[in-house]
Each structure stands twice: as C-alpha cells, then as structure tokens.
Amino acid sequence: MSERLKGKVCLITGAGSGMGRVAAQVFAGEGASIVAVDLRGQQAEETAQLIIKTGGRGIAVQADVSSDTDAQKMVAAAVKAFGKLDVLYNNAGIFPEKDHSVLDTDSEVWDQVYRVNLKGVYLGCKYGIPQIVKGGGGSVINIASFVALVGCTVPQDAYTASKGAVIALTKSLAVQFGPKGVRSNAICPGPIETPLLTEWLFKEPAEKAKRLNRIPMGRFGKPEDVVYLALYLASPESSWTNGAVMVVDGGITSNYF
C-alpha cells in the first residue's frame, strides 16, 4: 500500500458525509492525519471513528465554516492534535432547492449560499494558510463546480456565482502564497452522486434524465472521481501545480449539444 500523504495533516470540511467523508478515508489510507470538520458533529465523529478503526489517525471537529470563531477553532484543533497543518481541503458547500434564477431566488437563500460556499472558503484560508506557511508549505484545495464555467438553462444562480468566486479567489491565493510554498488549486466537479445531489435530483426521473443526457460518459460522477484528483493535489506529486482549475465532469463542459 502506498503512503502518498505520509506525515501530512489534512483538514477537510464537509467531512461528515459524501465526498468529504470519502476524501477523509482515502487520505487517511494514504498516511495522512485527518481533521474531519462538519456542521453535524455526530457525522464528523463517525468519519473520525471510521478512520481510527482502520488504523488511521483522525479527530472530529463540529464547526460552521461560515463562522469566524468556528473557523479559528477547527484550525486550532488541527494544530493542537497533530502539531501542524499541511493540507486545507475546502469541501463544504450547499445547494438549496430554492436556489433558482436571479429573478426568483430570495435574498435570504442567496446570502445563505454565499456564507457557506464562499465565506467558508475565505475563513478556512484566513486561518489555515498561516499555519501551512508556518509548517513550510503545503496545499489548499478548493471545491468549485463545472457550473461556474458554463451557463445553464436550469439555473442555480447563487450556487453558480459562489463557485465562480471560489475560482477567482483560488487564483489570487495561488499568486499570493505560491512564493511561500503554498499551492492553491480548484476542482470543478460535474454532478456527483452525493447526498447533496441525490436528495432532490434522483427523486425526479425527468430531471435526472435531462442531466444524464448532457454527460458524454453516460453516468454521474462518483465521489472517488474527485477525491483521487484531490489526492494528487494534496501530495508532493503536485509540487508545481498552482492556480489550476481542474474539471472533472465526464465531458459535460465539452458537450455542445
């Protein structure tokens, strides 16, 4: 078994389920110590216990990524438990059903999406990057989305705009902190089979079929499809990958019809 992340300390937000939990397990299997962060403390603890039961090192932190106090707390917990921080994986995000066009999306929904999807990344970086710099460098991985790169006839405008902002922020981070040894990159997944997607989309066969028709690979993505790219970005193998926007979407953004 390889240990591509041996000795690394990785903080993963949204680690209580879906892509975040898979990332925590995969990274732990590659030798990393994991700080599993989630708004739902019990689910974060379940993730940490799954890691520990397989011989890995992990702790759980209940935190709201949009809270300044909680963001400080989660980074402090990582340093207290493991002595440093090498990888910040900003995975937490929301995708409310009430997020539609700008014409019919309530301001409250818009603000909620921005608090989690963008402010959460900002706060994670605000407190996480100084620790990564202090430790001699490392990696920031921000989860954006393919919808930030193309328009959509079935809009989710708050989500789309927030993820576009994540890409722009990632570019700025890459330039600011690259000289200090911190690589910052964004991943743009297509539709991934996680609770965030399946809770609503898979209940509607017509909506599911509409989206599948756009995917040349003929299927939705699996969490692992994104996580293994994140593993590359977390590992020393990506030592010259900085400011990249990497699309993992089964070919959606290449599909004209």
∠ Cα 90 95 96 (to 5°): 145
Place of tokens 């991934």: 192
CA-CA distance, 105 to 175, in Å (whole number)? Answer: 34
CA dihedral 77, 80, 86, 90 (to 10 degrees): 0
159 is annotated as an active-site residue: yes
Tokens of 221: 């993505």
Residues 6 or more apart whose Cβ sits within 8 Å of residue 250: 190, 215, 216, 217, 218, 219, 220, 221
C-alpha span between 11 and 230 (Å, rounded): 13
Single out the catalytic residue among 89, 122, 127, 159. 159
Which positions are catalytic?
Answer: 159
